[in-house]
Chains A and B, each alone.
Chain A
């Protein structure tokens, strides 16, 4: 006895086909479904629908007698899913290699064969992954802050004019660096196979973080109404070498491990020595985000090195190559260095300047030891870590 379904008064022009589909879903090709209903056009609707779907319908399809209609299920649906595969396991770790034919399908989806393969550059797990990525993404989402409310923009910033100019110069420099740090993850994520969705999500959150940093640093820079500071050719040259790095792991290593890693010390310094509460706030907020970016960079680079120890050589030559490219540039904008000294000094008195100078020297030493620590964690021997840290750009990022 065939399965049956009663559409009552529902027509196929108002969703009735969903009930027919449901009735057919449990059946195999060649099996039959009896369809009954009271809609006056049911017979013609069902005939037209079945024809388009590859099913056969028999019964009183004539005008006036919508008696029971007998649908024989066709093979099209079964044929459509021949060769369909699951795109990995949705809950578990991503596959070692993501199939380009999975395209944009959700991890774990049943993927119909056919369709264009995705042209993602990075489809190997070891090239993009770190086990901490899902947790870092969750942390990034939870820590999302609103620039409008997270900073008390009305707090007093009536600094001596020259100290204010130093703050503005530092902010101008920070914006430039954060723009590079925004563009790079945005560029990388477009080339990661969507199977590694947590990595894409994390890079998207990272780009969004940087967008907020650009906003708050710009806003602080303009708070006193004055013009922004300077942008040096050498600083921009240094940043642009980061944009040119084509490899995912190497780009992340240079940006997040070495560059943003170095910035952690800078932001800590700015937070601790800020001459006004707004500067302290924006540095603190950015620092919190950057720590996550560094954590992923370090975790992924270490992951890649664990999978293939020879990768240390690739990373080393990337640092050397960048150093060689930047040999002829001035490195850090002199105005930025001087501004940091004055910002830390708080005034032009010789004693204060001496203190500021020492603080910036200490900052550079802290930056160096932070870099060495992260390089050692990734797998570099201590002497090599020291050597590579010394080759890092004088522009900090």
Chain B
């Protein structure tokens, strides 16, 4: 049995969907076959997982970008170090968009002054925090210069639950919001779902590129085992018929070496929104994960 500080690795992951069990059961079986003692525990939200990572109750955390920001701040305050392990190829260079209806008079973000902007859940980096930063950068204070209509679905899941974004898109089409915020890939997803018919919307603003999830090792992880895990994950091939369904479910074609250069924008968004304090404490007043 692996566990923190033992001869194996224990990873924390958030159960944002039932498929998470299938994914990590599959990865666990494969990793064990490769000789790595590996196990996982599931969390109902990212906040507890970040706390447990820094406290050494799990060796690794499969972090959302926001969970990484929090864990980094907490670790800094606690004087412990975190080691980035890997990320998915699909975690690099994402962009969030602000959409209006095609016939809207709004031409750019500044044009949203005095209007209603629909967002995802309070803790969604891609559909709330980052687009709100883009509004601020355009000179608009959310809640003051623009009204924010937030769709708090799956709070605590850091936007992994797509429901909030979907509701924001619906609100845009229904005319109860003037703009909606979403990650670029959901522009295509919602088109396929028929929520955003082709030609019905227009992009009036977008964030700079940013990175998404990242796997992080905490203070309890044995460095050599972390290296072994990284090697195994990076060696996973999409050509392996046993791994392919798991990789498809997890939404990647290959694991890649981690980078930390893609989170500066979110750090700024978190500060601007007052979401976490400098030590990683939750300071957002309306956040109940």
* A112/B241 contact (C-beta < 8 A), A11-B198, A40-B202, A44-B95 known: yes
Contact A76 B188 (CB under 8 A): no
- Which of A44, A54, A74, A112 contacts B184 (CB under 8 A)? A44
Interface string of A95-116 (1 = CB under 8 A from B): 0000000000000000011110
Taking a contact as CB atoms under 8 Å apart, the answer to whether B237 and A79 are in contact is yes
A113 to B205 alpha-carbon distance, docked (Å): 43
Contact with A along B173-207 (1 / 0, CB 8 A): 00000000001110110011000101100110110
| Interface of A (DSSP majority class) | loop
Q: Are B239 and A41 in contact (CB under 8 A)?
A: no
User: Which residue of A12, A40, A53, A114 contacts B245 across the interface (Cβ within 8 Å)?
Assistant: A114
Stretch of B86-94, B157-165, B222-230 contacting A (4+ beta carbons < 8 Å): B86-94
Those of A50-98 within 8 Å (CB) of chain B:
51-54, 61, 63, 74-76, 78-80, 82-83
Contact status A76-B238, CB under 8 Å: yes
Quick check: is B254 within 8 A (CB to CB) of the other chain? Answer: yes
B97 within 8 A of A: yes
State whether B253 touches A44 (Cβ < 8 A): no
Across-interface contacts of B192 in A (CB, < 8 A) = 13
A115 to B89, CA, bound (A): 24
Within 8 A of A (CB), among B49-101: 89-90, 92-95, 97
- A113 to B242 Cα, complex, angstroms: 9
Task: Check if B244 is an interface residue, CB within 8 A of chain A.
Answer: yes
What residues of chain A lie closer than 8 Å to B183, measured between beta carbons? 48
A161 and B95 alpha carbons, distance in the complex (Å): 86
Residues of B close to A377: CB separation below 8 A? none
User: Are A13 and B184 touching (Cβ within 8 A)?
Assistant: no
Residue in A closest to B88 when the chains form the complex, CB atoms: A51
B191 touching A13, Cβ below 8 Å: yes
Cα A82 to Cα B244 in complex, Å, equals 11
Classify chain A: how many residues form its interface, as a range.
20 to 34
Interface footprint category on B: 20 to 34
From A41, A74, A82, A115, B203 is in contact (CB under 8 Å) with: A41
Check A14–B184 contact: CB distance below 8 A.
no
**Contacting pair A14 B244 (CB below 8 A):** no
Chain B contact residues: helix, strand, loop or mixed: mixed
Q: Within 8 Å CB of A61, what residues of B?
A: 95
Asked whether, in the complex, the Cβ of A48 is within 8 Å of the Cβ of B238, the reply is no
Are A80 and B244 in contact (CB-based, < 8 A)? yes
Given known contacts A13-B188, A52-B185, is B93 in contact with A47 (CB within 8 Å)?
yes
A251-291 Cβ-contact flags toward B at 8 Å (1 or 0):
00000000000000000000000000000000000000000
Q: A51-B94, A114-B245 are in contact. Are A12 and B188 (CB under 8 A)?
A: yes
Expressed in whole angstroms, the minimum distance between the Cβ of A107 and any Cβ of chain B is 21
Mask: chain A, 8-52; 1 = CB below 8 Å from B; 0 = not: 000111100000000000000000000000001100110111011
Complex contact B187–A13 (CB within 8 A): yes
A52 / chain B contacts, CB cutoff of 8 Å: 90, 185, 251
- The smallest beta-carbon distance between A105 and chain B, in angstroms, is 14
- B184, B237, B242 pick with most chain A CB within 10 angstroms: B184
Residue of B nearest to A114 (CB): B241
Given contacts A54-B238, A61-B95, A79-B237, list 7 more A-B pairs with CB under 8 A. Answer: A11-B198, A44-B203, A48-B95, A48-B188, A79-B238, A114-B241, A114-B242
The 9 closest A-B pairs by CB, nearest first: A114-B241, A13-B191, A79-B239, A54-B253, A14-B198, A113-B241, A48-B184, A82-B239, A48-B185
24 contacts between A and B (CB under 8 A): A11-B199, A13-B188, A13-B198, A14-B199, A41-B187, A45-B184, A45-B187, A48-B185, A48-B188, A51-B89, A51-B90, A51-B185, A52-B251, A54-B238, A61-B95, A63-B203, A63-B206, A76-B253, A79-B237, A80-B244, A83-B241, A113-B241, A114-B241, A114-B245
Interface residues of chain B, those whose CB is within 8 Å of chain A, are 89-90, 92-95, 97, 183-185, 187-188, 191-192, 196, 198-199, 202-203, 205-206, 237-239, 241-242, 244-245, 251, 253-254
